[in-house]
Structure 1
Amino acid sequence: MENNNQIWLYPLIIVAGALQAWGPPMNGALQKSLSNPWLASVVSFLPVLALLTCVFLCLPRPLPSGEGVMTMPWWAPLGGLIGSVAVIVGLMFVQKVGAGTLAGLTITANIIMSLFIDKYGMFGIQQHPLSLGRMAGGALMVAGIYLISKF
């Protein structure tokens, strides 16, 4: 923990991570009720859009600068689209593989990809070397998901 003034962020991040485990089973129930996975995906995103619209309308500042918009990487606004893949996969397959296996696979894949993003400084983030400790952590994640999905 590099900055003790920001230690309060860690419990919030942990709560957000725990709440993420609720999403796929909730979306799976939505898909089961609505039958159509594409309609279920749209219905799943509508409350998010409504919430963020309300927050933006209440807190519209700061607004982006023209320079910020013009210098934005082409891929920057695609994060939500990338996130939708996880939502769609979750709602379609959580009933088949279980919440533990689905979460384990997605989190493990996320960690391993994040190690490469860190190593190469992709998407403009600071580079972090791929140390033996980080590789061991990734290998332990793979071993852990194997155990979770096997038993």
Structure 2
Amino acid sequence: MQNISAAWLYPIILVAGALQAWGPPMNGVLRNALSNPWLASLVSFLPIVAFLVVLMFCAPRPLPTLEGISGMPWWAPLGGLVGAFAVVAGLMFVDKVGAGAFAGLTITANILMSLIIDKYGWFGTEVHPLGGWRMLGAVLMVSGIALIAKF
């Protein structure tokens, strides 16, 4: 993947982002059908786990080394749990605020937190200064979601 120009990745990333908008409304319907939000969350994750198990066996990669595991930060395996919070939030609240407002709020919060992560280089990321243009983009994101949520 490192040989691929970033320009070729943008369409894939855009499709992935567009598909992310499908998840909360689909999970909201799942929650309503199953009545139990925790069961709905579990059912939502089961196809993901099954898909990843199939990929693991179809495209095997080397197993981790003891050095790799012992050198891993304590928080590294928690990314899935953090993502699960977003799934559960969508599952429980998208029908109350609407798909546009829900997506706008989560994307805006994601962008704002990403700017902080970039500024300080948290989680092993490369530092990207928080300059004027980035701050203007953040203000425009917040302004845009305020309009979407209000109307």
Q: TM-score range by the shorter chain?
A: over 0.9
Residue equivalent to 1:122: 122
Residue equivalent to 1:107: 107
Residue equivalent to 2:18: 18
Q: Secondary structure at the match of 1:10?
A: helix
CA distance in 1, matches of 2:5, 2:25: 35
**Structure 2 stretches of 5 or more lacking a match?**
none
CA distance in 2, matches of 1:36, 1:135: 41
Deviation at residue 4 of structure 1 after TM alignment:
7.2
CA distance in 2, matches of 1:8, 1:115: 23
Residue equivalent to 2:51: 51
CA distance in 2, matches of 1:129, 1:62: 36
User: Runs (4+) of structure 1 moved beyond 4 Å?
Assistant: none
Deviations 1:48-70 (A, max 9, x none): 00000110012221221221111
Q: Secondary structure at the match of 1:129?
A: coil
1:28 and 2:28 are equivalent in the alignment: yes
CA distance in 1, matches of 2:44, 2:57: 21
Deviations 1:34-85 (A, max 9, x none): 0110000000000000000110012221221221111000000100000000
TM-score norm. by structure 2 comes to 0.96
Amino acid at match of 2:21: A
Task: Map 1:75-86; keep pairs closer than 5 Å.
Answer: 75-86=75-86
Residue equivalent to 2:89: 89
CA distance in 2, matches of 1:91, 1:76: 25
1:41 and 2:41 are equivalent in the alignment: yes
CA distance in 2, matches of 1:7, 1:110: 22
CA distance in 1, matches of 2:120, 2:5: 29
Q: Percent identity?
A: 68
Q: Secondary structure at the match of 1:62?
A: coil
Q: Secondary structure at the match of 1:7?
A: helix
CA distance in 2, matches of 1:144, 1:4: 33
TM-score norm. by structure 1 comes to 0.96
CA distance in 2, matches of 1:108, 1:43: 27
Q: Secondary structure at the match of 2:5?
A: helix
Q: Secondary structure at the match of 1:53?
A: helix
Residue equivalent to 1:136: 136
CA distance in 2, matches of 1:117, 1:79: 14
How many equivalent residue pairs? 149
Q: Secondary structure at the match of 1:140?
A: helix
Residue equivalent to 1:9: 9
